[in-house]
Each structure stands twice: as C-alpha cells, then as structure tokens.
A and B are shown apart, each in its own frame.
Chain A
Amino acid sequence: MTLTLSARTEPPARVRATALIPERLDGLGEDEVAALTVRCGREIVAVGELFEVSGNCDGELVWAGDLCRVDGIGSGMSTGRVLVQGPCGDHLGAGMRGGEIVVDGDAGDWAGAELAGGLVRIAGDAGARLGGAYPGVRAGMSGGEIVVAGDAGEEAGAGMRRGLVAVGGTTGPGPGLRMLAGTVIALGGLGADAGMGNRRGSLVSGRPVQALPGYAFAARYRPPALGLQLRRARELGLPVSDALQRGTWARWSGDRTELGRGEILIFDEEEGV
C-alpha cells in the first residue's frame, strides 16, 4: 500500500523532509506519521500540520501538492520508491543509497547530491549542482543514476566519482567541475566550461561544444561504452536518437591541468546524420 503526503497549502517556510523516507515510515499508521515532526523554517512542526496523511507505507511514498518549499525528499533513502507529483524543493535524493525517486515536475538545486546508489528520475528540469558535491567535500556522486528529461543547472556532476547523470536537454555552465570519474551526458549539449579540473570523468555532449584549452582533440570514433550508456539512458526514458546511438563522436582528452585522463565526447553531427 502507498502512503501519500499531500501538502495542505504552500508551507510558510522551507520544510526539511529528510526524515520522511519509505524505510523509516514503513509500518507506521496515518496518525503516527502525522505525529512525526519536521523542521519548517525555524520551527519544529508536526507532519500532520503541513501534510494530509493517507494510507500506509509499504515501500512506496507519494508526495503531492505544492512541494516547492519541501527540501530533502528521499534524501538518504536506501530502499523503496518515492513518487513526487509536481515540482519539489532542493536536495532531492541527496545522499541516497538505493531505491527510486520519480519526480513528475522540476527539482530544485542539489538534486541527487552525493548520490551513492539508486535511481532518480526527473521529468522536468533540475537546478544547480545536480549530483554534485557539497561544499568542503571532494567527491560528489559515488554511484547510482540520475536522469533528467529537461535541462540541468550549473555544475551538474561536480566532483562526481562514479555513476551516471543523463540530461535530455542542456546543462548550465561548469558541468563536471572537478570530476573524479563517472559520466555526465547532455543530449541537448553541455554548458560552457565543461569538465574543468576533470581527472577521469566522461562528459558527453549531443551538440557541438567548445572544449576548454585543457583538452586536446584525440580522435573520432564510436565509443562502445557510450553506446551502452545511451541505451541505458533510452531505457530510462530519454529520447536518445538512433543517430546519437550509431554515430561517431569526437574525443577530447583532458583536463591537462589535472590528471588529464578524462574526456569530452562531442557528437559529430556531420558524420552522425
């Protein structure tokens, strides 16, 4: 059975919902969930004051209503499924280790920050630092998959160590900033200054992009691993065209100001169509 938390109105301040994840709510009745407390701005308030609680959680939790001020949905979860009906606040799925989050709308900043496992699917746009590392932390995302159908904000995949960030649209400036490894795909094209300080990461742009001076052109080829990743992105709902799947890609190696083992793969439109 599904537990549904419907926002009664727009919360008066930002709500920190990190405690409300399926594994913690499993087995609790409606009254028990309603009696739990969350931080709302400077106040501690009962869940029931902010949300109408219905059903029981059996691994699935649905968020509904105006959630733009609700932060940390699914944060730290390791199992279960979270459905968000509409746009939500920041830190969606931050530190998540497993399970799945599906957002039927936009997500705020820091979605999937320091993700360690599981799947985050966002039907709309995502804000800044998608899958990124929090300030003071060297490594960001260490596993899992984030799929954004729309656009992503600046510095998507910053500090990423492992995993996949796949964006159907474009990313803002600075994708893959100080990336350690992992893959950031932007079918609509990477933003400016992609892969600055990248060590071993892969950045993939479905549209032409100017590589930073720390990158050098290597070759045009059909990267077999990218083929698998694009197939995976397609499985997860991104509109990956056959041209992208079968076409050739220009490989730029860098960032030579760092280790220099990273890459930017840029779709070769002339060859690919």
Chain B
Amino acid sequence: MSSYRLGDTEVVDTFAEAFPMRYSRLVITAATDAWAHEAARSATGFATSVIGCKCEAAIERRLPAERTPDGRPGVAVLLFAMDREGVGKRVLERVGQCVLTCPTTACFDGLMDAEKTVALGASLRYFGDGFQASKMIAGQRFWRIPVMEGEFLVCESVGVGRGVGGGNLVIEAGDDVAALTAAQAAVEAMRGEGVALPFPGGIVRSGSKVGALTSSSMPASTNHRLAPTLRAQIDDTLVPEGVGALFEIVVDGVDEAAVREAMRRGLHAAAAAGALQVSAANFGGDLGEFHFPLSELRDPP
C-alpha cells in the first residue's frame, strides 16, 4: 500500500468509509455553563456506536449566552441515528431522562431550517400530566412543563438533517503514551461546528470488525488485526513494525465536508504530535456511501 509523509509521520494511502445517517442538533441551556454541560454530558452518554447504543451523540460545542435562544450559557449537542424515526426516539428518551431532569435547563432546536422534524416537546409535554402549557414565541411553539424547580421549557419539535457517520482516523505510535498524546491532539483539532466525536474523549481503543471468527451471532468483535499484542500470533496483522499502540477516532458530521475537514485537521494535528503512522478503517469500500481517502487530506487545514 503506497503512502506519503507528513514530517516524520507516514500516512497510509487508504480511506475511511462512512455511511449516511440522520441527525439532530439540540441546544441545551442552563443557568450556568456548568449545568448546561452537565445536562449535555448526560444526554450524550452511552451513545458511542449506533450498533450498541442505537445512536451516536456528542457535544458539538459550547455556546456563549449571546448565541443561545434564551440568553443563557448553552451547549450544542449532535445526535446521529440511522433514520429519522431512530433520531426521534433517541432524542425523546435522552431529553426526557437527561435534560428535563437536570436543574435549570431548557432545550431548543438547533436545526431550525431542516425540512423534516421529529416531535420533542409535542411528546414530552405529557409528562406535565395535563398541567403543561404551550406558548407560541416568534412563530415557534414551546412547551412549559411544570417541575419541582419551576418550569422546563422545551421546543415542540427538532429538525432532522442528513449527516454522515463513520469517518475515522487510526493513529499509531511506538507506545501507548505517544499514541494517546497524538490522538488527543487530533481530537482537540477535530472538534468544532458540525462535528461529533461520539467515543469517550473522542477516542476509541477497541476498534472492531464486522462479525467474529468464533461466533456467528456476534455482530462485531475486536479488530484483532489491529491489536499489537497479537502481531506475532496472527498472519494478517495490520500493525506495522515499530508500532506499539493504536487509537481510532470516529467522526460523525453534518455533511461530507464537515467530516472531511475534521479528518484533515486531525491528521495534521496527529502528525505534529508525534504519530508514527496514520491510517483509516474501512470495509473494503462496498458498504459505505462515503469514502474519505487520506491522500486527499495532504494539504494542511
């Protein structure tokens, strides 16, 4: 496999394979930045992989008070699922369990221009047990749900857009410390508007493969070809000489460009932070609609 170099880092000439997904953006506000962040963290918990968690979600960015609908500190959250119905179910569950319950929060639609929507307040209002009230404000309906603290304000519905899920980089270095340092630098560079990194701290240490060698019922299992400890045990290892640890960064985005540019930022940041090699995961190119060749990311962001 041919490759190119970014400084001391070898970039493998391969591609990341990604899939069409649907997504929503929630804007969660609260009395303080800390509470908004607390709600957002809770709402995006257990949302690393659509296979095991039914959705992928992450904090997109913090929003200063002057950029939120109610003038309070906020956090934008992106949630991805395979279809609109899935987005609707997950948004409702997560706002109901993690945002409604969190002190001082309110929840708004961060995708106002979307053509399609899913119900949020329209369903969540029933928690109000008949005491809920609606308000039309600037053409948008909101629901006021009485709670022990006062009222929870939530938008009637949230927009659903077409996004891309599954962009990725595999960052490799001589040992775990060096690999993690490079991966963290990549995550830092990749985060931003339009992008969600759904895994803990944005980083995956347990890359998976489809299916399993030992069971037909397992949907996924460890990607043994990328496990350094198995390098001498298997014939088809993908761990190159000198590499002692690998981390994967999975990136979902609001469109192809968001994913591509996040990967570009991550690639160059990882290289600058001492990655020995950067690669990407794919399924041979037959499954995913979107391909992101690393060769196209050579120019710095």
Which chain A residues have a beta carbon within 8 Å of chain B's beta carbons? 143, 145, 162-164, 183, 200, 202, 219, 221-225, 227-229, 231-232, 235, 245, 261
Contact = CB atoms under 8 A, between A and B. Distances in A.
A162 B151 CA distance: 20
Interface stretch (B51-59, B137-145, B275-283): B137-145
Contacts of B151: 221, 223-225
A28 B279 CA distance: 67
Contacts of A223: 144, 150-151
Contacts of B144: 223-225
Contacts of A229: 135, 137
On chain B, which size bracket covers the interface? 10 to 19
Nearest to A117: B139
B223 to A, nearest CB: 46
Contact of B153 (A163, A200, A228): A228
Given A221-B151, A222-B150, A227 B135 contact: no
Contacts of A231: 69-71
12 contacts: A143-B136, A162-B136, A200-B133, A221-B149, A223-B144, A224-B144, A224-B151, A224-B152, A225-B153, A227-B70, A228-B135, A228-B138
Given A219-B150, A225-B135, A225-B151, 10 more contacts: A163-B136, A183-B135, A223-B151, A224-B70, A224-B106, A225-B142, A227-B70, A227-B71, A228-B70, A231-B70
B133 A232 contact: no
B136 A202 contact: no
Please name the 3 residue pairs, one residue from A and one from B, whose CB atoms are nearest each other, closest first: A224-B153, A221-B150, A225-B135
Contacts of A219: 150
Contacts of B152: 224
A66 B232 CA distance: 95
